Structure 1
Amino acid sequence: MAQQFEDRFHRKFYYLRLSVTDVCNFKCTYCLPDGYKPSGQKSSSFLSLPEIKRVVRAFADCGTSKVRITGGEPTLRKDFNEIVHSVAATQGIEKVATTTNGYRMEKQVAGWKDAGLTHINVSVDSLDPRMFYQITGENKFTQVMAGIDRAFEVGYEQVKVNVVLMKDLNSHELPAFLNWIKDRPIQLRFIELMQTGEMDDLFQRHHVSGVAIRNQLIANGWLLKVRNKNDGPAQVFVHPDYQGEIGLIMPYEKDFCESCNRLRVSAKGKLHLCLFGEHGVELRDLLQQDEQESALIERIQQQLQTKSVSHFLHDGNSGMTPHLASIGG
């Protein structure tokens, strides 16, 4: 194995978030409120399957054990199952996850499992079908819920459900969500609304801190779980009376970046050291041949030495990220 990916703050990177498409068929208010708009640059197509194999192998050879396939909506790729299979077949990769809006899950999740997908995150921002439609722009609540049920039927022991918390929209639904996971093995992940370049006004109107929810959980007997080395950034809480779990993702909290263990590669083949970084690093020229792996690893290692100790969201600086779909959230 090559040297473990590590930055100058001695953070090791076990987790790759790999975007395979910018395209999404939902119009979520906090991400793509006007829907997906192609860039018009036909020359810059999304990563091909051979390019994906090469980038994943390089990361695996440097200690990465978890890959999350993201988008946009990754399942819009016609070769999604082949992508999953190739990632799962890479030596050293133990977890293959995806984040999806879930609209195709009921029909396709059995195929995803057969291909080697080990973990699923589904975005469900409301348990009220009308609010779900208001937030996502799509009247697909029933299909998404059926997809979650189907995931359990085909053998997934746990499904993670992502909820972006928004004041005056869904922030009052905590009791309903808690009731929903009482007897279901769902890890409910409340994600603080994050400020991105195109969403300043929405952020000012709807941002709500996760700290109040954490205090409420602790007061009601929820206990913090210990993190594994390739876990994401959530603080996960468990309760003896609940089959489900709750994860809180609070990027505005002090020291959030101390446990950073993930890097991102965009659907166009750029390395992003931070979701809110200032620029992406071109990798695609080194993804054309197997023989380029050592040069690819060297470029990533060099760039890691420039990674900042923290993002600068507290200062209202979201870097170059126009919206979360652009580099896979």
Structure 2
Amino acid sequence: MTTAEQGLLDTFGRRAVDLRVSLTDRCNLRCTYCMPEEGMQWLAKDTLLTDDEIVRLVGIAVRELGIREVRFTGGEPLLRPGLVGIVARCAELTPRPELSLTTNGIGLARTASALKAAGLDRINVSLDTLDRETFRTLSRRDRQGDVMAGLAAAEAAGLLPVKLNAVLMRGVNDHEAPDLLAWSLERGYELRFIEQMPLDAQHGWVRTNMITAEEILERLSARFTLTPEPSAARGAAPAERWLVDGGPGRVGVIASVTRPFCRACDRTRLTADGQVRNCLFATEETDLRGALRAGGADTDIAELWRKAMWGKKAAAGTDAPAGIEAPAFHQPARPMSAIGG
């Protein structure tokens, strides 16, 4: 068996084949569930991986560790000046990984065509509301028009299927769930609702403010007939999916809090400053940037990565299957914007 076939295993028998690469911790929105309006401390420029370092680490992951899918995230990855070049170089790797991007959509109108030409396969765009004023309240920026233009550009460029991510906030946009789904179905977008997770920079998450998967499905079922897809179709995907009114349209719900899916997790994460995280909620990291800059060989870096993944906990950084709901859960010091989605 080759080293790539051995892959990134942990003690629970899970194998990571999906790499999330954060390109920056910076963002041009200030969404209330993610970060405060002011006072964020950004990573120092000299700590960030260079374009060459990112491509090298992705190459090691693909060739040595069996990674098959690479998702570029942030912060907001469209703020990374070298993004198109990074995508193009990763698309030239052998074996070629599937390449995707998670973005807030701002700036996508001017970059979608270039990203498609560089080799990007598909895109996920965050859109929590259809109402401009609610968008301004949630994101603290009046940029909804830019997001809508970005979605149109992604569709025109052939970055299909266009997937949407939405977080519902109690008393703010939770009433919009059916409207968001109807709007998405009309345009052929695939919508996924995500339970709000304790990954905000201000550590202000309160469970009672979170709209649960059960509540989301209740709101949707008031207008639509939802038929669960077979569990076998889900695989390691975090979203449970339902056919809407018999299909072909679908909707997904990512219930990280109330319905943890950690036992099927197949992800590994690389932060913008070169740290491997074996879980979104991990409290420990492994430094690959230091090994790179000290002249480490690809095989040495791959071994560091394997060791980091071997120690992955059962669920959400804990030894308890309940994950975030477990008494032992502790919110990681890094917020989502610094970890990468």
Superposition pairs for residues 130-279 of structure 1, below 5 Å? 130-196=133-199, 198-204=201-207, 206-214=209-217, 220-224=225-229, 226-227=232-233, 232-239=237-244, 244-279=249-284
RMSD over aligned Cα, in angstroms? 2.3
Q: What's 1:52 paired with?
A: 54
Q: Distance in 1 between matches of 2:202 and 2:330?
A: 10
**Unaligned segments of structure 2, at least 5 residues:** 317-322
Superposition pairs for residues 282-293 of structure 1, below 5 Å? 282-288=287-293, 292-293=297-298
Matched, 1:89 2:100: no
- In the TM superposition, what is the alpha-carbon distance from 1:257 to its structure 2 partner? 0.5
Look up the equivalent residue of 1:326 and give its one-letter code: A
Look up the equivalent residue of 2:340 and give its one-letter code: G
Superposition pairs for residues 9-88 of structure 1, below 5 Å? 9-35=12-38, 37-39=40-42, 41-44=44-47, 46-61=48-63, 62-88=65-91
Task: Say if 1:68 and 1:97, in contact at 8 Å, map to a contact too.
Answer: yes
Look up the equivalent residue of 1:195 and give its one-letter code: P
Q: Distance in 2 between matches of 1:228 and 1:297?
A: 29
Q: Give the alignment partner of residue 325 of structure 2, picking from 294, 314, 320.
A: 314
Alignment identity in percent?
Answer: 31
- In the TM superposition, what is the alpha-carbon distance from 1:185 to its structure 2 partner? 1.9
- In the TM superposition, what is the alpha-carbon distance from 1:232 to its structure 2 partner? 3.7
Matched, 1:325 2:337: yes
TM-score by length of 2: 0.88
Deviations 1:248-296 (A, max 9, x none): 1111234420110001010000000111111211011233488711111
Deviations 1:54-102 (A, max 9, x none): 1111111221110000111111111110011122221123310111110
Q: Distance in 2 between matches of 1:53 and 1:209?
A: 38
- In the TM superposition, what is the alpha-carbon distance from 1:318 to its structure 2 partner? 3.7
Task: Say if 1:51 and 1:288, in contact at 8 Å, map to a contact too.
Answer: no
1:253/1:144 CA distance change after superposition, 3 Å: same
Q: Distance in 2 between matches of 1:94 and 1:43?
A: 28
Look up the equivalent residue of 1:273 and give its one-letter code: N
Q: Distance in 2 between matches of 1:299 and 1:78?
A: 29
What is the aligned residue count?
A: 327
Q: Distance in 1 between matches of 2:243 and 2:196?
A: 23
1:19/1:42 CA distance change after superposition, 3 Å: closer
- In the TM superposition, what is the alpha-carbon distance from 1:213 to its structure 2 partner? 2.5
SS of corresponding position for 2:8: coil
1:76/1:9 CA distance change after superposition, 3 Å: same
Deviates more, 1:94-103 or 1:1-10: 1-10
Look up the equivalent residue of 1:300 and give its one-letter code: W
1:161/1:79 CA distance change after superposition, 3 Å: same
**Unaligned segments of structure 1, at least 5 residues:** none
Q: Distance in 2 between matches of 1:241 and 1:254?
A: 24
Look up the equivalent residue of 1:123 and give its one-letter code: S
Look up the equivalent residue of 1:265 and give its one-letter code: L
Look up the equivalent residue of 2:60 and give its one-letter code: A
Task: Say if 1:28 and 1:137, in contact at 8 Å, map to a contact too.
Answer: yes
Deviations 1:189-216 (A, max 9, x none): 1010111364444434621111233356
TM-score by length of 1: 0.91
Q: Distance in 2 between matches of 1:64 and 1:40?
A: 27
- In the TM superposition, what is the alpha-carbon distance from 1:242 to its structure 2 partner? 5.1
Q: Distance in 2 between matches of 1:210 and 1:159?
A: 22
1:149/1:254 CA distance change after superposition, 3 Å: closer
Q: Give the alignment partner of residue 302 of structure 2, picking from 286, 293, 297.
A: 297
Task: Say if 2:35 and 2:201, in contact at 8 Å, map to a contact too.
Answer: no
Q: Distance in 2 between matches of 1:56 and 1:36?
A: 32
Task: Say if 1:270 and 1:284, in contact at 8 Å, map to a contact too.
Answer: yes
